[in-house]
Structure 1
Amino acid sequence: MFPDASTLAQAAAAELARVVSEAVAARGSASVVLTGGSMGTALMTALSGEDGGPPVAAPWSSVQVWWGDERFLPAGDPDRNDTQADTAGLGRLITVGLNPSNVHRLPGPDEPGDPGDPSDSDDFERAARQYAARLDEAVPKDRAFDVVLLGMGPDGHVASLFPHHPSTAAAANPDVSVIAVQDSPKPPPQRLSLTLPRLNAARQVWFLVTGEDKAPAVRRARTTDDPQECPAGAVRGLEATLWWLDDGAAEAGTSGLPSA
């Protein structure tokens, strides 16, 4: 466990650079799914050196970056996860090699629709299909992400998959990569999220969790795999599941990096 969010983020950034470097050496590229929220921002700050140091060294030119979920808001809105990553220093990683074309942002309501998708559904549903098509082409379902990064809410939600929400049942469909979440219990009401099969298609899944209010959800997630009860409990890495916890979120006797 770690004493605070900043220390946790620094350690996770260093480990992520190591894992990414090994993936590029082994397979020629790496794919990372970013998370939003306070720990997503803290991790990006540590990676980019916005906290006062240089950007973390890694073969960034060979890294593909995705997001696990997004608030369906216009590009640049301060509540979007990608905007918060930009503010935390994503651009600094671009200056040290990350290719902007490898940064795959989820669409917003202001993004033009796909002319190849003439359906009558609204922009929201179309945006989910658009990102799914992009993801499925770049990372087919029979391939795994290298690392999926996830925060977790006090209710056990991950990405935009919430307990006892109708969309969470749809998120279990193995044929679907991205869902449109309507009537989210957290604002804004419309969100886009990767599905459970997609989040589980990762060599490693990392949960970055801080705060005493998260400790009960950490316990639930590590004892149940029912996505309706606790969506976080239904996400596991193919090779490893790591819980990065601060003192507040950790149970007595747990490690900062336990492997499932």
Structure 2
Amino acid sequence: MNRLVVVHPDAAILAEATAARLLTRILDVQSQRSPVHVVLTGGTVGIATLAAVASHPVRTAVDWSQVHVWWGDERFLPDGDSDRNETQAHDALLRSLGDVLPAAHVHAVPAPSAEVATPEQSAALYADELARWAPSGADVPAFDVLLLGMGPDGHVASLFPGHSALEASGVATVGVHGSPKPPAERISLTFDAIHAAREVWVVAAGPEKAEAVALALSGAPVDQTPAGGAQGQERTLWLIDAAAAGTVAAD
């Protein structure tokens, strides 16, 4: 497995460095092919990374008209709710891009509505949208970068330890009920979809993440530490700060 662990001094530098790495990755891909498919994550460091992208001078070098934005998971909350990952991403980055990023290329997870009454219905609609942009014979695009945050319990996206959503297979998305972290209802990519990504980046900061980082990198069972199952086709990056690294040395 092509896995690289990169340790930065603190969370602020981690966010800035991840933003620079993301912009470089998009530019590198665009030098070879288009469009570019990027999966965003929420959380403190994930949103700080997007804010750092918004203020980075290299941002203007990207051809945003050829970028598609997706989400690894979403809270089943109304459009515009401040706890939705999509809302936070708009505030941090997407709004500042304006029309250079086509609205049709921002693939938000469907929010509750009269037509979307359950997380399962939202997940099914999102799976349809993913399939619409997938190569022939695939369920999802070959994501060029799939960003994931990680919780202190080792969860990624909305795949929690011991939760039934971990077992979903043969589908790209899953509705989540009874999440141990509020809100209880969510939508998540499955591991099948995550594993289709060319590159998976797990981003984590803080001493409360250190135990989960160590377990994931040591090969702990995925049902115990889901982050350990987050792997890309070509490369898996662990981008962490010194506090989250604990005693783990960078490769």
Please report the TM-score for the alignment, with normalisation by the length of structure 2. Answer: 0.90
How far residue 111 of structure 1 moved from its aligned partner, in angstroms, is: 6.6
Q: Does 1:66 align with 2:70?
A: yes
CA distance in 1, matches of 2:171, 2:219: 23
Cross-structure match for 2:190: 195
Residues 207 and 246 of structure 2 are in contact (CA less than 8 Å); yes or no, is this contact kept in structure 1?
no
- TM-aligned CA distance change 1:91 to 1:210, over 3 Å: same
Q: 1:180 aligns with which of 160, 169, 175?
A: 175
Residues 161 and 167 of structure 1 are in contact (CA less than 8 Å); yes or no, is this contact kept in structure 2?
yes
How far residue 229 of structure 1 moved from its aligned partner, in angstroms, is: 1.2
Q: 2:81 aligns with which of 77, 85, 101?
A: 77
How far residue 238 of structure 1 moved from its aligned partner, in angstroms, is: 1.0
Residues 214 and 248 of structure 2 are in contact (CA less than 8 Å); yes or no, is this contact kept in structure 1?
no
CA distance in 2, matches of 1:197, 1:240: 16
Structure 1 runs, 4 residues or longer, greater than 6 Å off? none
The one-character-per-residue Cα deviations of 1:17-49 (angstroms, maximum 9, x if unpaired) are: 111112122122110000011111101100111
Structure 2 unaligned regions, length at least 5: 1-6
- SS, match of residue 145 in structure 1: coil
- SS, match of residue 202 in structure 1: coil
Output the aligned Cα RMSD: 1.7
Letter aligned with residue 186 of structure 1: K
Letter aligned with residue 212 of structure 1: P
CA distance in 2, matches of 1:190, 1:250: 31
Q: 2:241 aligns with which of 239, 246, 258?
A: 246
Q: Which moved more, 1:24-33 or 1:220-229?
A: 220-229
Q: 1:29 aligns with which of 24, 35, 42?
A: 35
Cross-structure match for 1:101: 104
1:13-52 matches, within 5 Å, as 13-49=19-55
Cross-structure match for 1:151: 149
Letter aligned with residue 100 of structure 1: A
Q: Which moved more, 1:126-135 or 1:221-230?
A: 221-230
Cross-structure match for 1:207: 202
Q: Does 1:235 align with 2:230?
A: yes
Cross-structure match for 1:88: 92
* Count of matched residue positions in the alignment of Structure 1 and Structure 2: 241
How far residue 112 of structure 1 moved from its aligned partner, in angstroms, is: 3.8
How far residue 54 of structure 1 moved from its aligned partner, in angstroms, is: 4.8
Q: Which moved more, 1:243-252 or 1:209-218?
A: 243-252
How far residue 203 of structure 1 moved from its aligned partner, in angstroms, is: 1.1
CA distance in 2, matches of 1:253, 1:178: 32
How far residue 63 of structure 1 moved from its aligned partner, in angstroms, is: 0.6
Residues 213 and 244 of structure 2 are in contact (CA less than 8 Å); yes or no, is this contact kept in structure 1?
yes
Residues 111 and 122 of structure 2 are in contact (CA less than 8 Å); yes or no, is this contact kept in structure 1?
yes
How far residue 100 of structure 1 moved from its aligned partner, in angstroms, is: 1.6
CA distance in 2, matches of 1:29, 1:246: 31
Letter aligned with residue 34 of structure 1: L
Please report the TM-score for the alignment, with normalisation by the length of structure 1. Answer: 0.87
- SS, match of residue 27 in structure 1: coil
- TM-aligned CA distance change 1:111 to 1:202, over 3 Å: farther
How far residue 139 of structure 1 moved from its aligned partner, in angstroms, is: 2.2
Structure 1 unaligned regions, length at least 5: 114-121
Letter aligned with residue 192 of structure 1: I
- TM-aligned CA distance change 1:129 to 1:253, over 3 Å: closer
Residues 55 and 92 of structure 1 are in contact (CA less than 8 Å); yes or no, is this contact kept in structure 2?
no
Q: Identify which of structures 1 and 2 has the higher relative contact order when contacts are C-alpha pairs closer than 8 Å and 6+ apart.
A: 2
The one-character-per-residue Cα deviations of 1:134-156 (angstroms, maximum 9, x if unpaired) are: 00111242752100000000110
CA distance in 1, matches of 2:19, 2:110: 26
